[in-house]
């Protein structure tokens, strides 16, 4: 068994996220599902 730490896959608590940067610009986490729906139509 080899144990290691990979900081590239950090888990950030949701309450600390104010925006998600996308190719459409900054999106609030609560609006992300709407953006996904609009792009799939």
Could you tell me the pLDDT band of residue 10, with boundaries at 50, 70 and 90?
confident
Could you tell me the pLDDT band of residue 4, with boundaries at 50, 70 and 90?
confident
pLDDT reported for residue 39 = 64
The number of angstroms, rounded, from the C-alpha of 26 to the middle of its chain's C-alpha atoms is 11
Query: What six digits make up the tokens of 18?
Result: 């104010």
Q: Whole-prediction pTM value?
A: 0.49
d(CA 17, CA 37): 21
Other C-beta atoms closer than 10 Å to the C-beta of 33 total 10
Per-residue model confidence as pLDDT tens digits over 15-39: 899 998 888 889 888 887 787 666 6
Residue pair 22/13 in contact (Cβ under 8 Å)? The answer is no
pLDDT of 41 over the 60 cut: no
């Amino acid at each position: 068994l080899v144990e290691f730490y990979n900081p590239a896959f950090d888990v950030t608590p949701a309450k600390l996220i104010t925006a998600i940067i996308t190719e459409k610009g900054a999106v609030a986490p609560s609006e992300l599902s709407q953006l996904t729906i609009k792009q799939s139509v």
